Structure 1
Amino acid sequence: MTTDAEKLVSKNPMVSSPNKMKLGVFALNAHGGTAISVAPEVHKADNWPRSAEIIRAADQAGFEAMIPIGRWRGFGGESNFGGTSFETYTWAAGVAAITDQIACITTSHVPTVHPLLAAKQAATIDHISNGRFGLNIICGWFGPEMRMFGGKMMDHDDRYDYADEWIEVIQKAWTEKGYFDYKTKNFNLEQAFSEPKPLNKPFLINAGGSPRGMRYCAQHCDSAFIILGSHEPQAVAAQIRKYKDLARNEFGRDLKVWCYSYVSVAESLAQAQKYVDRYVTEFGDDEACENIVKELGIQTGIMTPEQADNFRYHFKGGWAGFPLVGTPEMIADHLAMLSDAGMDGVCLSWLDYKAGIAQWNAEVMPLLERAGLRAPYASRSLSAAA
């Protein structure tokens, strides 16, 4: 008899891929992606056919995951960054319908979706994708979004307490045969029922960075999605170990760790940096950036002026992700460093996703294969030969 774990390995590339460094595409579903900019070529998330081209390019190149950002409203400013976005469950179903092998992830704010509805939607997408579905769990940090739904912001730890119960309901819906009851502080379910079950145990992700958030990742999730606190190799390795050791020592679980990066590739470091400087310095949306910083409660006042400027620069460049900026060879070296530090995967974003992923597949991917970070992918090889 095939176990759930064995079925999962056979289906979801976030688990089954043999690649040492797995790759995803991040935030394609929202205006700007991760770039807080009004540059003319900034990503517009109001055109499904254009998004579908990028999704297929990632699928055919062997990328392991498409991970959307959860957004219900924008952050103001000239760009209203993130204000236009595709809803992530239906978006993931669309991804599933037009791809062959990539993991189809949804990003779900737990206070905005009842867990029984989430479980049913998840199972549906899992069937459409033939077992490639995954769920990125967000506890809800942007107050105006939560108030849109008639609620209010819960205290930080209360959000995770709620999320504990939310995912328990979903797990029961995915596994319990017949009817089940579930009565807790936040839920009162009588004779709950959900069929069909997912084909696989869906892959769970969370981006918790606080002690409580890290514990949630370690207890419930298959992967942590982290913002790197430092780009120095030893510090990166220490941050990754902290997550993995907690999961192993406290819960006996093998937790994967992913981060995200904004990408600029050129013939020289100077050219690649100039490209980022242009969309950040000349076209960056300072008002939207400040609104995000305030909402997140980031105390830039404790930084030196130089540190604060650097922080805002990287936030406008790509939501403060790890910068993959330089020549193709430099990018490959950066990813090798992350892999050596214990990173399992990196989700990528570009100012212009269509041009960016085409360049990545042509110039960077072959170097990752030569470095032993990725194996050649058959679909891409066949496409190139044709």
Structure 2
Amino acid sequence: MTDSKNQIKFAYWVPNVSGGLVVSNIEQRTDWRYDYNVRLAQAAERNGFEYALTQIRFTAGYGAEYQHESVSFSHAILAKTERLKVIAAILPGPWKPALAAKQLATIDQLTQGRIAVNIVSGWFKGEFDAIGEDWPEHDERYRRSEEFIQCLKGIWSQEQFSFHGKYYQFNHYTLKPKPIQKPYIEIFQGGSSRAARDMAARVSDWYFTNGNNADALREQINDLKIKAKNHQHQVRVAVNAFVIARDTEQEAQAVLQEIIDEANVEAVQAFAIATREAGAATKEGEGNWAKSSFEDLVQYNDGFKTNLIGTPQQIAERIVALKALGIDLILIGFLHFIEEVEYFGEKVLPLVRALEQQQLSASASASASASA
């Protein structure tokens, strides 16, 4: 059997904000309310998903008029599940590390170690302006996030934590009880810029990147792994994808085309402007969405680019190809979450595991032949 530790893992986007995962007027049988999310989490847990990621939004926009806060919503989902680990997205600025460390340690204790955290450095200046938060320039936001992560790790793992950085200071701080997870709660972060990869290579456990093609992903992963090795650090990689799995490729492509045809043009264009402004602020002059077309931005984390659109067999083969590039986890959005999570678990996931087992057996046979 395939070693479960070496299997590719799956997460889903928690729809704790309204509007679904595409900026389109197409019907999305997905709901942002709690009761729906409980049923979704339980369905995901039954169908092989190990993680879920709650979103952090403070203001309406791009089709998301309503937003539940991420940390409390994560805890509420955890209370109704048994194995799922929920990744709560938080923003340095609105959160301070002392508060986040204490919140998350408490949830970790109450859920037997099933909380994780995604540190979001921020890309939408309008949101920070609306809530009266400082907006450091792009690379400074990542420096602040790096200090934030250093503080979380120190608070969770040291008896008396002291830190004197540019953004945060601690003097012999002791947190008890500490998290159940050792040495600390899993830390995720996102971003595709040089600054994001540099930060991940130094301090993060997981690096989220937007959806992309194989060549672009390979380049990012190689850069990240080389940098991490130079820092004697290990970081795993997760990629965003929007999955459209149907019985035929024609059906899947028709759904994709309908999503794009029904796109909320005004909202997508506003998003495009905001992302271009965010990208222009990076030292390299481009960010997550620098090469994204209008069609790409209809799924706001470039999920279409990953190309998990087609039959279960096609999608399974592409997932295993992503694993070969160095992807450890796929973060998935769906159009109709509950029913498509169930279809994925029934039709796609068994094929993925079978292909992984075939590759493992072939590798073992090759090794045996070489040593004979």
- Report the TM range for the smaller structure's normalisation: 0.7 to 0.9
2:124 to 131, 135, 142: 142
2:7 aligned with 1:20, yes or no?
Answer: yes
2:243 aligned with 1:260, yes or no?
Answer: no
Following superposition, the deviation at residue 281 of structure 1 comes to: 0.9
Number of the residue aligned with 2:30: 43
User: What's the secondary structure of 2:356's corresponding residue?
Assistant: coil
8 Å CA contact retained: 1:174, 1:194: yes
Number of the residue aligned with 1:305: none
2:158 to 176, 191, 200: 176
Number of the residue aligned with 1:351: 335
Number of the residue aligned with 1:197: 178
Number of the residue aligned with 1:8: none
Following superposition, the deviation at residue 20 of structure 1 comes to: 2.1
In structure 2, what residue type is equivalent to 1:225?
F
1:52 to 12, 18, 38: 38
Q: After superposition, what is the alpha-carbon deviation per residue over 1:230-253, rounded to whole angstroms, capped at 9, x for unaligned?
A: x1x3443232222122111x2112
Following superposition, the deviation at residue 373 of structure 1 comes to: 6.4
In structure 2, what residue type is equivalent to 1:316?
V
Following superposition, the deviation at residue 33 of structure 1 comes to: 3.5
Number of the residue aligned with 1:340: 324
User: What's the secondary structure of 2:23's corresponding residue?
Assistant: coil
Segment of structure 1 superposing worse, 365-374 or 133-142:
365-374
Number of the residue aligned with 1:296: 275
Partner Cα distance (2:320, 2:38) in 1: 30
Partner Cα distance (2:129, 2:164) in 1: 25
Partner Cα distance (2:222, 2:268) in 1: 31
Partner Cα distance (2:131, 2:171) in 1: 24
8 Å CA contact retained: 2:191, 2:210: no
Classify 1:184/1:266 alpha carbon distance in 2 versus 1 (closer, same or farther; 3 Å): closer
Q: After superposition, what is the alpha-carbon deviation per residue over 1:178-200, rounded to whole angstroms, capped at 9, x for unaligned?
A: 5x444433234456442210011
8 Å CA contact retained: 2:201, 2:228: yes
Partner Cα distance (2:37, 2:277) in 1: 32
In structure 1, what residue type is equivalent to 2:348?
V
Q: After superposition, what is the alpha-carbon deviation per residue over 1:229-280, rounded to whole angstroms, capped at 9, x for unaligned?
A: 4x1x3443232222122111x2112211110111111122111111121122
8 Å CA contact retained: 2:203, 2:233: no
The 5 Å alignment of 1:1-386 reads: 17-45=4-32, 47-75=33-61, 80-178=62-160, 180-190=161-171, 192-200=173-181, 201-229=184-212, 231=213, 233-248=214-229, 250-282=230-262, 284-297=263-276, 311-317=293-299, 319-321=301-303, 322-372=306-356
Following superposition, the deviation at residue 298 of structure 1 comes to: 6.2
Partner Cα distance (1:244, 1:182) in 2: 28
User: What's the secondary structure of 2:225's corresponding residue?
Assistant: helix
User: What's the secondary structure of 2:332's corresponding residue?
Assistant: strand
Partner Cα distance (2:278, 2:77) in 1: 38
Number of the residue aligned with 2:361: none
Classify 1:141/1:317 alpha carbon distance in 2 versus 1 (closer, same or farther; 3 Å): closer
Q: After superposition, what is the alpha-carbon deviation per residue over 1:82-116, rounded to whole angstroms, capped at 9, x for unaligned?
A: 33222111111112212222222100111110110
Partner Cα distance (1:242, 1:29) in 2: 33
Structure 2 length as normaliser, TM-score? Answer: 0.85
8 Å CA contact retained: 2:37, 2:77: no
Following superposition, the deviation at residue 127 of structure 1 comes to: 1.2
Q: After superposition, what is the alpha-carbon deviation per residue over 1:139-178, rounded to whole angstroms, capped at 9, x for unaligned?
A: 1211122123312321011112222222222222212325
8 Å CA contact retained: 1:106, 1:134: yes
Unaligned runs of 5+ in 2: 280-289, 359-372
Count of residue pairs brought into register by the alignment: 344
8 Å CA contact retained: 1:31, 1:83: yes
Following superposition, the deviation at residue 228 of structure 1 comes to: 4.1
Partner Cα distance (1:24, 1:241) in 2: 23
Partner Cα distance (1:118, 1:310) in 2: 33
Partner Cα distance (2:158, 2:260) in 1: 50
RMSD: 2.5
Classify 1:134/1:161 alpha carbon distance in 2 versus 1 (closer, same or farther; 3 Å): same
8 Å CA contact retained: 2:20, 2:30: yes
Classify 1:373/1:114 alpha carbon distance in 2 versus 1 (closer, same or farther; 3 Å): farther
8 Å CA contact retained: 2:155, 2:175: yes
Classify 1:373/1:159 alpha carbon distance in 2 versus 1 (closer, same or farther; 3 Å): farther
User: What's the secondary structure of 1:272's corresponding residue?
Assistant: helix
Structure 1 length as normaliser, TM-score? Answer: 0.82
